[in-house]
Structure 1
């Protein structure tokens, strides 16, 4: 089965499981009936996994690209990773055909998890309608949290786009696209490029200009469209085996005072928070490409 199908099946299983539980909004509204504007709810899951969509055309967040390690259920302190050969390294047998044979192996502590926060301003008196209030939390606050999570994974302090060890590729070489050139480079390292993160403007430009996007997806590459990758660039890599998302496995929603500049006007605000950090095990199997 192609990797993109495996990811979609896993997402479907998560969504089916979440549907058997009370939604984040439902739990918050239940607590609000008791605690009013002092309400704070702590969840023992990462609530961006709770998103269910009625869209006929899904748009997946970046977390769905990665293998998630829930540290609340799978505690660990270290992770393994590799680095490319260094100048002056002795010759390694077979590295001419198997480039990864010359890599160095490492054990490092899991870096501190980063806080991802999202804010919404609650329309006046919406809390008087429990159903609408729960829907607002589920389909606005949690959606905004998923967008903030994309920022953490891609552009935040420890995000993929700030990792200097990822390769950069600007020349398509004998291929029709740098995306295909990067897929080839990943396979020349003994891995498989199973994921592509691309700006929607580039996705639709390429979709309208030929068959590349369809061909890539049909070849088993899982595509995430997000504004948080700069237009004219994309990230290609072995997300299934080459990267991890360490996740605290918990979340919080609470009433709070937002930082100045968060909203255009004053009002009652809700904050949602999760804690996570992306790491790359195989940096030689990831490329930021120029389209």
Structure 2
């Protein structure tokens, strides 16, 4: 069996590691105490991956479904990917059972990373209370950045829903759910459907009518609940081996002038930015399903 490298063994280890470092909000609050409204902090990490939640019921961001590649520490020129055979391709021996044998191999340059930005308006004087200001940066600004990041990863310009080669599945076939049919199709391609991105309304409808969500989770499927997929739609795929999240490994938080229309009234504002992009190595191992 292949040994998995570089993955934390337990959530407790992740929490322990992160507690050793000051939070992004703490660093920004300290900078603000020194520089006031000129405060700006550059981080050598992607800050949406720097906080842990204290919620008893976790809700994971989309980035957690992917293997993230920090290009600042692991620079690369290219990534590999495959595509389905064309209608006029010559038959490949064995492909009637092992479908992936007929796929075409490609390499492409790492695409330009996309900027994800979030804003909050700071109530005047909040920065005079460092503990409260730290919490506000961590759990309002960065939480909003996580939501914006979900948009980038799922439905934005370079998001999963806009990547060529991912098929749509609208009928359940011989299964009780399109989600289960898609899981089977991924395995028929030689992969494993280890991730599901679904709108909360569909998650809770499924929970209220049977055990599908519980069965998927118990079977090792990592479920992301997010508004960033339309109700009635879900993404099923081999997130572990079939896609990657390329990440700049840097972020910034600073006071700035927001674009017109960002807030209803004037006031001091703080922005945060990260830089990343999803690529799909095995588009044949992903499906957008109607649920």
What interval of TM-score do these two structures reach, taking the shorter chain for normalisation? over 0.9
Which residue number in structure 1 is paired with residue 167 of structure 2? 167
Structure 1 residue 164: deviation in Å? Answer: 2.8
Judge conservation of contact 1:66–1:239 (CA < 8 Å) in 2: yes
Structure 1 counterpart SS, 2:253: strand
Structure 1 residue 85: deviation in Å? Answer: 0.1
Which residue number in structure 2 is paired with residue 150 of structure 1? 150
Structure 1 counterpart SS, 2:33: helix
Mapped pair 1:250 → 2:250: yes
Tell me the alpha carbon deviations over residues 117-169 of structure 1, each in whole angstroms, 9 at most, x when there is no partner: 00000012101111111110011111011100000000111000111310110
Structure 2 counterpart SS, 1:64: helix
Greater mean alpha carbon deviation, residues 32-41 or residues 250-259: 32-41
Mapped pair 1:194 → 2:194: yes
Would you say how many aligned residue pairs link Structure 1 and Structure 2? Answer: 286
Which residue number in structure 1 is paired with residue 52 of structure 2? 52
Which residue number in structure 2 is paired with residue 221 of structure 1? 221
Mapped pair 1:77 → 2:73: no
* Runs (4+) off by over 4 Å: 6-12
Judge conservation of contact 1:68–1:244 (CA < 8 Å) in 2: yes
Which residue number in structure 2 is paired with residue 276 of structure 1? 276
Structure 1 counterpart SS, 2:150: helix
Q: How far apart, in 2, do the equivalents of 1:11 and 1:282 lie?
A: 28
How well do the aligned residues superpose, as a CA RMSD in angstroms? 1.3
Which consecutive unaligned segments of at least 5 residues does structure 1 have?
1-5
Which consecutive unaligned segments of at least 5 residues does structure 2 have?
1-5
Judge conservation of contact 1:81–1:106 (CA < 8 Å) in 2: yes
Structure 1 residue 15: deviation in Å? Answer: 3.0
Which residue number in structure 1 is paired with residue 140 of structure 2? 140
Using the size of structure 1 for normalisation, the TM-score is 0.96
Judge conservation of contact 1:11–1:64 (CA < 8 Å) in 2: no
Structure 2 counterpart SS, 1:263: coil
Q: How far apart, in 2, do the equivalents of 1:180 and 1:8 lie?
A: 29
Which residue number in structure 2 is paired with residue 208 of structure 1? 208
Judge conservation of contact 2:113–2:275 (CA < 8 Å) in 1: yes
Using the size of structure 2 for normalisation, the TM-score is 0.96
